[in-house]
Amino acid sequence: MMLILLMVSAQFCIGASDLTTIDKRLVITLRRQRVPVKSDSRTISYKSAYFGTIWLGAPTQQEFSVVFDTGSGHIIIPSTDCHSRTCRIHRQYDRKHSELAIDVDYDGALVDPGQPRDQITVSFGTGEVTGEFVQDTICLEQKVMTEPGPHDRITEDIQRREENYPELADQDCVKLRVVLATEMTQEPFQSFAFDGVLGLGLGGLALAPEFSYFGRMVSEGRIGQPRFGVFLADSDEEESEISFGGISPDHVDGELTWAPVALPDLGYWQVRIKEIWIGNRLIDFCSGDADCRAVVDTGTSLLAVPSIVVEELQSSLTKDLVQDVEKIERDGCKGIEGSPLHFVLEDNFTITMMPEDYSRQSTIHNKNATGADEAPPQVICRPTMMPLALPAPLGPKLFIWGEPVLRKYYTVYDWEAKQIGFGKAVHLADLDSVSDNGASHFV
């Protein structure tokens, strides 16, 4: 869910079972939701979201489901001050239920009741949020709170109130500034079940360090390593996860290969692309251009391609696909034959997408002159790429690697070294294949 635009204006006039702690590593189970994309009332493809649970406030911890999004920089939660249907179908944060909530402006300045508030407008690739700010404590696990005495409960000293809840000093909790959404567009928030977003972009995407969840976890020493790893399942039989403080080695085949983050001050987890190949044919688009890059985005379900080259890639990949209708109806696009798509990064490390990675099922309806179907609809596989047109400094030669890349590669995001690690993801299907062969090559 890549953040495209950020504006600030001062206006005057998880369930607990989702979290596993291993040493100083926090592992959160992510749930997947698939939403159909329709055209003329027909489903033409699906988009996905992966989300987990966080908890805000005390003594009543308010539960929210969020996308852990490397393409944005803030925690965004619907507020009870948002009255649109888009907000009301989700859980909404009520600051009156948290004794630790403080109304603040974006710079942390306290806001007195009834006084003008700073507002933020965040534009994503497919939607927009407007909101205000609050400071509160965020946890990845629900706590059993100690009940404070009546005098402590009403104290004006926020530090005293925080001391009432020693459980919030746990490893998975951090005090943070949060964006409370007062307006949310229908897309993508009405289509999906998740309530909000937890941004994991680099510091350049946040208004201040106090907005960055992972930045605060690192600076306060709450995790073992300044890294987090992401694993996306490729079937309903396995679980997706995000691991804060290190990687989950069981999900990686072999060693990680690291690529430096390009233009880290912009805040995006992006890498430079040196070359693009379809099979053994070089696509003359990125060669010799240092501004050809890809953002690795856990909040995007598609492969986004610069609009100036999307038609060339789509047509070249499509013509090489072998459309075995019977096999597609049985197995989907799994194992479909065609040309691989290669992205060559710095140090000549290559991200390779096979046809089953970049293709999705699609239904073709052949119609006659009257608009009626001439024959039964045909199911095929076709490359699924979203056109993207962004101006400099991000565009115009910017790709976004979402779910198709993240399912194939276990990705690791190093906050301090400003680098991204890629390793072949190990899925249950891989383990079943190894078991059938009677041997294992996994490290």
Domain assignment of residue 241, yes or no = no
The verdict on 26 and 170 lying in the same domain is yes
The verdict on 129 and 183 lying in the same domain is yes
The verdict on 266 and 209 lying in the same domain is no
- Residues ≥6 apart with Cβ < 8 Å to 244: 25, 26, 27, 28, 214, 217, 223, 228
Q: What is the pTM of this model?
A: 0.90
Mean pLDDT of 38-62: 80
CB atoms near residue 334 (< 10 Å): 15
Domain assignment of residue 229, yes or no = no
Closest by alpha carbon to 377, among 366, 391, 392?
Answer: 366
Residue 389, pLDDT above cutoff 70: yes
- Exposure of 351 by Cβ count < 10 A (0-12 exposed, 13-18 middle, 19+ buried)? buried
Summarize pLDDT for 258-297 with one digit per residue, the tens.
999 999 999 999 999 999 999 999 999 998 888 999 999 9
Domain assignment of residue 35, yes or no = yes
The verdict on 348 and 257 lying in the same domain is yes
The verdict on 257 and 170 lying in the same domain is no
Pick the residue with more confidence: 431 or 100?
Answer: 100
Count of the separate structural domains present in the chain: 2
Radius of gyration of the chain (CA): 23
Q: How far is 105 from 118, CA to CA, in rounded Å?
A: 5
Q: For residue 212, give the CATH number of its domain.
A: 2.40.70.10
Domain assignment of residue 353, yes or no = yes
Please check whether residue 120 is in contact with residue 162, taking contact to mean a CB–CB distance below 8 angstroms. Answer: no
Q: Within the chain, what is the greatest distance between any pair of CA atoms?
A: 79
From 180, 207, 224, the end of a domain falls on 224
Which pLDDT score is estimated for 374?
A: 63
SS3 at position 83: coil
The verdict on 220 and 266 lying in the same domain is no
Lowest mean pLDDT among 178-182, 284-288, 303-307, 377-381: 377-381
What is the span of the domain harbouring residue 67? 3-224
The verdict on 145 and 22 lying in the same domain is yes
What is the band of 371 on the pLDDT scale with cuts at 50, 70, 90? low
The verdict on 57 and 172 lying in the same domain is yes
Please check whether residue 380 is in contact with residue 361, taking contact to mean a CB–CB distance below 8 angstroms. Answer: yes
From 179, 208, 224, the end of a domain falls on 224
The verdict on 105 and 218 lying in the same domain is yes
Pairing of strands 196-199, 62-69: parallel
Mean pLDDT of 232-250: 93
First to last CA, the chain: 33
Domain assignment of residue 242, yes or no = no
Domain assignment of residue 347, yes or no = yes
The verdict on 218 and 255 lying in the same domain is no
